[in-house]
Structure 1
Amino acid sequence: MKKSLFALAALGAFAGAAQAQTNVTLYGVIDAPIEYVNHFAASPPTQNPATGQLVQSPNGGSLFRMPSYGGLSTSRWGLRGTEDLGNGLQAVFVLESGFGSDDGSLQYASASGPRIFGRQAFVGLQSKDYGKLTLGRQYTSIFWAMANFSPTFYSTLYEPVVAQLGANYREDNTVQYTGAFGPVTAVAHYSFGTGLQAVGATPTFGGGAGEVPGHAKDNTGYGAGVSYQAAGFGASVAYDQWNPNFAATAGNAGSAKKAAAALSYTWGPAKVMAGYRWGQLKAANGGTLARDDYYWAAVNYQVNAPISLTLAYYYDDVKILRTATTTPVVNLPNPWQITFQADYAFSKRTDVYLATAYAKNGGLNFSASNSSFSNGYFLTQGNDSQVGVAIGIRHKF
């Protein structure tokens, strides 16, 4: 639903700001699935500091629920706008808020409370010749570089987005440049303070010592990516680094590094893709907390105008995964997952879907431990696999 600035002014929020050359769009998605998951633990596992072994919770079982924040898409609403400044230059902004479709709650929290615009909040300038420069809370470069190579388009059900991109795929206090040059798109960013903090190998939101005098590295992040799309062929490479502060006091920055590459090819109704991501997490003292090689492959198939299918495979070769440098390194089984989605579109705005996945050697979306691999699906004690099935309806406005 598009609203002119004059219409929105009737709400009082933008009174007196309307200009003839300004365009503001109200947009969003509401996605409500019903999900079944087996072997679902009531709490995340812990890691025995003496042996390094994961200790799973014995409490839990099968779970029927309505997930809070979406299915194929995360439920959200936002405002985006442009103002023509002349000579091919525009001012741009985006304010985007995530919400629970089941209870209306805000999606994100910080140290100071819920975030109204926790998904995106930025303003900037864009030129048709020189690209776009934006400032605020934004997605990282690796997120944009890999977006066209995501098997399920970063679906909440079921894609290991955190495992692939890192928990810092959105960052506060970020300056970002994006430029399109024919079939090539380049993006780079720098965050003065990401808004995340690492406790052991576990990221927590709203913490960190970013933007502290005398500790310029703490909680910063940066990265870049380059993508090519032409004649059905796509290729992309990206690098991302986050320097998490590992303590409540400043001066304890470690490093979380990721590098990724992906390819795709489209012919007729089918698109095939494959990718690889290298990852490493180090503590402030230089000790390695996590090291892995992550792979994925998938096919998207448009059966006819309303029906689309997706089949994806994900595999993570875990070399090291521990909560502290004093925890012994143990050989963990490598998690893998198969995801299938079927979508039926009633219109361009409304669709229904089936999503299902099977994970081995970890919970769905590679929730192997209380680490950066975690995405919320934890296994009960004595189980090494998990199945999830969901049906839902989605409406875009």
Structure 2
Amino acid sequence: MQQDRKRAWRLAGCTAGMLICGSSNAQSQITLFGLIDGGLLYTNKTLGSATGAHAGRQLSMIDGGSSYSQFGMLGTEDLGDGLQARFKLESGISIANGALAHCDGNLFGCEAWIALRNRYGEVKTGLQLSPFFLALYASDPRNMSFFGSGGVNLVDNVLGTSIFSASSVSYTSPALWGLQASLLYSFGGKPGDFQAGRQYSASVSYDYAGVMVNAAIFDGNSGAANPTPTPTSLAAEGRTLGAAFKFGAATVKASFVNYKVAGSLNNNVYGGGLTWYVTPALDLDGGVWVTSDRNHTANHSLLAALGASYFLSKRTALYAQVASVDNHGTMNTGLSIDGALYGASGTTVGATVGIRHAF
């Protein structure tokens, strides 16, 4: 009899626990997400790492013909009174060999943060994308494609610096009458030098009725205590002004960016182009980017690219891209973040074809 009572209490306790857990889970949501992108890259020139001269043609399989392959988790929980907790963990991967790739090279090296959000804005802490990078993305006509876009110029100049900000805290305001601002501070630091690897970034944007205008800055110190496989803490600065105008199914975008790396470069990049959804299944885009070395004006480049994506479904698309870059002086602008980041002197022509699936 006593054993029956114990079993009944245990059953009641388990049932109550399940009900409590069920009530909690009803207010929470975890989403697994990812993107797989694989393509073929061809260029009629390559840059010889030893000589700095033209080293021949190339044809190779790359991961990330238009975007990097990734896998992650996104979670939200409603805490009541309009307050919400959020988190994100995201890894960059290579479908060529299954290894970690892209971003800062670490597990969950793309994003790893937790945040609180309500009607007054959002506070986020952890490894996150900087306001400077997000402003560049918003004003790039090819959405920072891994091939032939403003993203190539960004990585060519500063690698992962100004994109991925580790050990950072940020605040993003709510959008009020189309205006929104973001601030980020990355602590960095190492014993005896708390300024090492310190970064800060800020942006402000106006987005209303098909018109977007933004501005952003980034400043960072070198010498992070825990350097990542892909450098993300160069002594670098970035400044940008961007704009976008939407006309029905077409959007025109333009931007100005200045990149500085202490003791190395000071480049201005002027870009612009068009995105056009010809049909819901067919997206065409193109852009032109002129890079000029402010220290030595003989060093400059012209990058131009066209792309097409055909959506077989909402999640799966085939794409083709073609681009040309013309380098003068010692400028070494490339065509592709993966496989052709730096280019040889003179004119280089390249193309990619591939498939992209999101889940």
Between Structure 1 and Structure 2, which shows a larger proportion of helix residues? 2
Q: Is the 8 A contact 1:163 1:374 kept in 2?
A: no
Match of 1:105, SS state, is: coil
Name structure 2 gaps, 5 residues minimum. 1-20, 227-232
Aligned to 1:187: 182
- Find the aligned partners of 2:151 and 2:268 in 1 and give their Cα distance: 14
Shift of 1:296: 0.1
Match of 1:377, SS state, is: strand
Name structure 1 gaps, 5 residues minimum. 1-15, 46-54, 194-210, 283-287, 321-329
Deviation track 1:140-180 (CA, whole Å, cap 9, x = no partner) reads 11112232211111111122425347431112111111122
The residue type paired with residue 191 of structure 1 is S
Aligned to 1:119: 110
Aligned to 1:4: none
* RMSD (Å) for aligned C-alpha atoms: 2.9
Aligned to 1:296: 271
Of the candidates 145, 164, 167, which is equivalent to residue 173 of structure 1?
167
Aligned to 2:209: 231
CA change 1:118–1:298 in 2 (3 A) is same
Deviation track 1:5-59 (CA, whole Å, cap 9, x = no partner) reads xxxxxxxxxxx8973211000011101111111211342x6xxxxxxxxx5146x
Match of 1:92, SS state, is: strand
| Alignment pair present for 1:149 and 2:136 | no
Aligned to 2:38: 32
Q: Is the 8 A contact 1:171 1:191 kept in 2?
A: yes
Q: Is the 8 A contact 1:228 1:235 kept in 2?
A: yes
The residue type paired with residue 214 of structure 1 is G
CA change 1:84–1:364 in 2 (3 A) is farther
CA change 1:266–1:139 in 2 (3 A) is same
Q: Is the 8 A contact 2:325 2:334 kept in 1?
A: no
Aligned to 2:304: 338
Q: TM-score, normalised by structure 1?
A: 0.75
Deviation track 1:255-275 (CA, whole Å, cap 9, x = no partner) reads 422111011111112111111
Of the candidates 45, 52, 55, which is equivalent to residue 56 of structure 1?
52
Aligned ranges for residues 307-326 of structure 1 at < 5 Å? 307-320=282-295
Q: Is the 8 A contact 2:293 2:300 kept in 1?
A: yes
Match of 2:45, SS state, is: strand
- Find the aligned partners of 2:279 and 2:255 in 1 and give their Cα distance: 27
Match of 2:138, SS state, is: helix
| Alignment pair present for 1:377 and 2:353 | no
Match of 1:395, SS state, is: strand
- Find the aligned partners of 1:102 and 1:281 in 2 and give their Cα distance: 32
The residue type paired with residue 99 of structure 1 is I
Aligned length: 326
- Find the aligned partners of 2:102 and 2:312 in 1 and give their Cα distance: 31
Q: Is the 8 A contact 2:114 2:126 kept in 1?
A: yes
The residue type paired with residue 135 of structure 1 is T
Shift of 1:254: 8.1
CA change 1:331–1:272 in 2 (3 A) is closer
Aligned to 1:271: 251
The residue type paired with residue 377 of structure 1 is L
Q: Is the 8 A contact 1:83 1:92 kept in 2?
A: yes
Match of 2:153, SS state, is: helix
Match of 1:28, SS state, is: strand
Of the candidates 233, 239, 245, which is equivalent to residue 259 of structure 1?
239
Deviation track 1:181-227 (CA, whole Å, cap 9, x = no partner) reads 2312211101112xxxxxxxxxxxxxxxxx21331211111010011
Aligned to 1:218: 196
CA change 1:395–1:374 in 2 (3 A) is closer
- Find the aligned partners of 2:39 and 2:97 in 1 and give their Cα distance: 13
| Alignment pair present for 1:392 and 2:354 | yes
Aligned to 1:140: 130
- Find the aligned partners of 2:52 and 2:325 in 1 and give their Cα distance: 16
